[in-house]
Amino acid sequence: MHYSNNRSVAKNITFMLITTCFSLLALTNAQETVKVGVVHSLSGTMAISEVTVANATELAIAEINEAGGVLGQQIEAILEDGASEPAVFAQKAQKLIEQDGVVTIFGGWTSSSRQAMLPVVENSSNLLWYPVQFEGNECSPNIMYSGAQPNQQALPALDWALEQGFTKFFLIGSDYVYPQTANFILNTHIMDRGGEVLGEEYIPLGDTNFSSVINKVRAASPELIFNTLNGDSNVAFFKQMEAAGFDSESLPIMSFSIAEQEAVAMGTELVAGNYAAWNYFQSLENDANTAFIAAYQAAYGEDAVITDPMIHGYIDVYMWKAAVEKAGTFDVDAVREAAYGLVLEDTPMGTVTVDSNQSIYQTVYVGKIGDDGQFEIVWDSGEAVKPEPYDPLAFPGNTCDFASN
């Protein structure tokens, strides 16, 4: 991976196995080490998604160490289990900073986990690299947001849906900040563009009873469901939708948290024919993606699949390395400022550029899930989309630009 300054592994992998892998990364006597923290859910409802992001982060660190490290130092990764609980994420982040002395942290998935870590990194003047799509409406100087903003996932998905002739929607999500805020933004844009939201339902993260929700879906008769469920709840939802007689032909579902890993873990027969919007699919054809897939499968099994958050977790480590080397120091403020305008070329998702709002420009794709769990790309944005942390229609008047501060 080059940069310039001008602009099946799943929940069943045990915490002990991953911790051992990360411990091996730290065993070097040849050079000094610099400590970084990695915190993901290796247990609980979110492990189905987060274990592989931890793996991809580990792979990037191993590659960098093999190539000589950062500023002449090897990276010592300290892995912690957020256990799918926001309070645990906060505790682990504080431990990593105060006890372990890490210079930066990589991790988190749900917005609740990110928001739990936010005051920790702000109060300690540390820096969190967050790799997952989120709801926007937040801009912290102590978080680098590489995952999609709403204008890089949810709203392009709406563009595609309207182009296909869908006008009547039902919104279903887990009961926390990301689904609620993302759906507020979707609601605002759907109404502004003449569509209809026929229902909006939330269930607790990890819940598995969708009987009431599905009855409401049946009564409303939408043309498309926007799905912001996270974790294991998706398995129950798709199974119960199938049992109720719905399929991708009669009522397609557009998901924002189901990628290749989740499709395989859930069973591809449940999700085939439905859709998802991301900034990366394993089916992307470029040399860097081919090389990454080969390296990941060599490390974690030839049947391992790759997802958007995994690629963002992987790229986050390389962005941090590039910013550190540009700054010539591990100092958090210097690294953050050095990241603005940074360009990473030849990544698995193509060229990405870091904006001064601490998010990245990235292309948007809509994919249709095939019988093998891979996605056929049916639409793309054509060019990298500038990130907008604050949607101008839903949250007018809010801006975020740290370079101008």
So what's the pLDDT on residue 14? Answer: 38
- Give the pairing type, strands 2-4 and 343-347: antiparallel
The pLDDT confidence band at residue 405, using thresholds 50, 70 and 90, is low
Give a yes or no: residue 313 inside a domain. yes
So what's the pLDDT on residue 229? Answer: 94
Asked if 336 contacts 141 with a C-beta cutoff of 8 angstroms, the reply is yes
What's the Cα-to-Cα distance from 123 to each of 41, 88, 94, 140, 282, rounded to whole Å? 23, 17, 10, 12, 38
Q: Domain containing 102: what range?
A: 2-148+283-353
Which residue, among 198, 235, 237, 189, has the nearest Cα to 217 in the 3D structure?
A: 198
What's at 370, amino acid-wise? G
Q: Where are the alpha helices (DSSP H) in 39-85?
A: 47-66
Give a yes or no: residue 362 inside a domain. no
Give a yes or no: residue 371 inside a domain. yes
Q: Are residues 265 and 378 in the same domain?
A: yes
Q: Are residues 293 and 326 in the same domain?
A: yes
- CA 322, distance to chain mean position in Å, is 21
- Give the pairing type, strands 105-107 and 128-130: parallel
So what's the pLDDT on residue 404? Answer: 61
Query: Does residue 26 carry a pLDDT above 60?
Result: no
Give a yes or no: residue 113 inside a domain. yes
Give a yes or no: residue 360 inside a domain. no
Q: What percent of the chain has pLDDT over 90?
A: 86
Q: Are residues 170 and 195 in the same domain?
A: yes
Q: Are residues 76 and 143 in the same domain?
A: yes
The DSSP secondary-structure symbol of 358 reads S
φ, ψ dihedrals at 290, nearest 5°: -60, -45
Give a yes or no: residue 76 inside a domain. yes
- Averaged over 313-329, what is the pLDDT? 98
So what's the pLDDT on residue 243? Answer: 96
Domain final position from 310, 328, 353:
353
- Averaged over 291-302, what is the pLDDT? 97
- The pair of structure tokens assigned to 151 is 């204008």
Query: 172 pairs with which residues across the strands?
Result: 201, 227
Q: Which residue has the higher pLDDT, 25 or 226?
A: 226
- Averaged over 376-397, what is the pLDDT? 95
Asked if 400 contacts 139 with a C-beta cutoff of 8 angstroms, the reply is yes
Q: Which residue has the higher pLDDT, 400 or 55?
A: 55
Question: pLDDT tens-digit profile of 51-67?
Answer: 999 999 999 999 999 99
Q: Are residues 127 and 248 in the same domain?
A: no
Q: Are residues 374 and 227 in the same domain?
A: yes
What's the Cα-to-Cα distance from 64 to each of 327, 340, 341, 349, rounded to whole Å? 17, 21, 22, 19
How is 211-256 classified by DSSP, letter by letter? HHHHHHHHHH--SEEEEE--TTHHHHHHHHHHHTT--TTTS-EEES
Domains identified in the chain, total number: 2
What's the Cα-to-Cα distance from 306 to each of 32, 124, 217, 315, rounded to whole Å? 32, 33, 32, 13
Query: Does residue 319 carry a pLDDT above 60?
Result: yes
The pLDDT confidence band at residue 18, using thresholds 50, 70 and 90, is very low
Alpha-carbon distance of 171 to 180, in angstroms, equals 10
- pTM of the predicted structure, to 2 decimals: 0.89
Which residue, among 331, 354, 288, has the nearest Cα to 5 in the 3D structure?
A: 354
150 burial level (CB within 10 Å; 0-12, 13-18, 19+):
buried
Query: 353 pairs with which residues across the strands?
Result: 343, 361
So what's the pLDDT on residue 2? Answer: 52
Q: Are residues 56 and 166 in the same domain?
A: no
- CA 247, distance to chain mean position in Å, is 27
Question: pLDDT tens-digit profile of 255-281?
Answer: 999 999 889 888 999 999 999 999 999
What is the strand order of the sheet 74-81 is part of? 74-81, 33-40, 105-107, 128-130, 143-145
- Residue 222 has a CB neighbour count (10 Å cut-off) of 20
Question: pLDDT tens-digit profile of 176-220?
Answer: 999 999 999 999 999 999 999 999 999 998 899 999 999 999 999
Q: Are residues 40 and 100 in the same domain?
A: yes
Q: Which residue has the higher pLDDT, 7 or 344?
A: 344
So what's the pLDDT on residue 31? Answer: 62
Of 120-124, 231-235, 287-291, which gets the smallest average pLDDT? Answer: 231-235
Which residue, among 345, 338, 387, 339, has the nearest Cα to 362 in the 3D structure?
A: 387
Q: What is the CATH number of the domain that holds 84?
A: 3.40.50.2300
Q: Are residues 307 and 231 in the same domain?
A: no
Question: pLDDT tens-digit profile of 214-242?
Answer: 999 999 999 999 999 988 899 999 999 99
Asked if 153 contacts 138 with a C-beta cutoff of 8 angstroms, the reply is no
Query: Does residue 251 carry a pLDDT above 70?
Result: yes
- Averaged over 323-341, what is the pLDDT? 97
Domain final position from 353, 375, 393:
353
Q: Are residues 173 and 118 in the same domain?
A: no
Asked if 170 contacts 226 with a C-beta cutoff of 8 angstroms, the reply is yes
Give a yes or no: residue 358 inside a domain. no
DSSP H or E segment with residue 311:
helix 308-327
So what's the pLDDT on residue 29? Answer: 41
The pLDDT confidence band at residue 316, using thresholds 50, 70 and 90, is very high
Query: Does residue 5 carry a pLDDT above 90?
Result: no
What's the Cα-to-Cα distance from 347 to each of 111, 266, 284, rounded to whole Å? 25, 28, 11
So what's the pLDDT on residue 265? Answer: 86
Give a yes or no: residue 359 inside a domain. no
Q: Are residues 61 and 200 in the same domain?
A: no
Query: Does residue 83 carry a pLDDT above 60?
Result: yes
Q: What is the CA radius of gyration of the chain?
A: 20
Alpha-carbon distance of 363 to 384, in angstroms, equals 4
Q: Are residues 63 and 191 in the same domain?
A: no
The pLDDT confidence band at residue 121, using thresholds 50, 70 and 90, is very high
Question: pLDDT tens-digit profile of 140-182?
Answer: 999 999 999 999 999 999 999 999 999 999 999 999 999 999 9
